[in-house]
Amino acid sequence: MSTASNALDARCDCHNIQGVLTDATASITPLVAELSYITASNCTSEVLTPIITELKGCLSGAITEIEGFASLSLTAILTTADGVVLEVTDVAQLIVCILKLIFEACATIIKICPSANIKVVYALLCEVLVLVCTLLQTICGLISGLLICLIPLIPSVCFSVIATLDLKSTFSFIGATTPLTGSLSISP
């Protein structure tokens, strides 16, 4: 029996990292689409909170599933339902899709948010991004070498949003503590 087959057997019916991240992306995509319809006139807590709550639910669900992989071997974590063992770079690409979706949506909201609503809107965005950070840390804690593969792939919009929302210390593990050029370019 191959290592991948053994990994599949060891996992029983457990979900795999590819499945969790693909499902999370599929769940996040329509919510991000909803955020694209936000305008300066409706960029309020009342409009954003239900969408943000759903986003947080998607991220929390993914985090919980991935935390369940803690007792598995790296091969088991990287083995897809089809028995293919993913490369660490494949997982990095799946994560980048999620990062791009969420951070681009946050950047759009930051750009259009009226100054009267900045405090509450920024707080809502921070709630989502703290969960994104937890997701990243959880996955990177399970998959050796992932962070090294991931950092060069992280879109610059992520660093701009992190700086604008003052989350540099939260995301310090990805090198977000250094001064970022253009970090204010997305400010309202």
Identify the bridge partners of residue 85 per DSSP, sorted by sequence position.
79
The percent of residues above 90 in pLDDT, for the chain, comes to: 81
Give the model confidence (pLDDT) of 122-168 as tens digits. Answer: 999 999 999 999 999 999 999 999 999 999 999 999 999 999 999 99
- Cβ within 8 Å of residue 169, ≥6 positions away: 177
Helices (H), the chain: 3-11, 17-35, 45-67, 74-78, 88-112, 118-142, 146-150, 156-164
Give the model confidence (pLDDT) of 28-48 as tens digits. Answer: 999 999 999 999 999 999 999
Angle of the 88-112 helix axis to the 118-142 helix axis, nearest 10: 180
Residues in the chain: 188
pTM: 0.86
Give the model confidence (pLDDT) of 59-76 as tens digits. Answer: 999 999 999 999 999 999
Band of pLDDT at residue 175, cut at 50, 70 and 90: confident
pLDDT at res. 6? 47
The dihedral sign for the CA sequence 38, 55, 182, 149:
negative
- Can you read off the two tokens belonging to residue 131? 């969960």
Closest CA to 9 of 76, 97, 74: 76
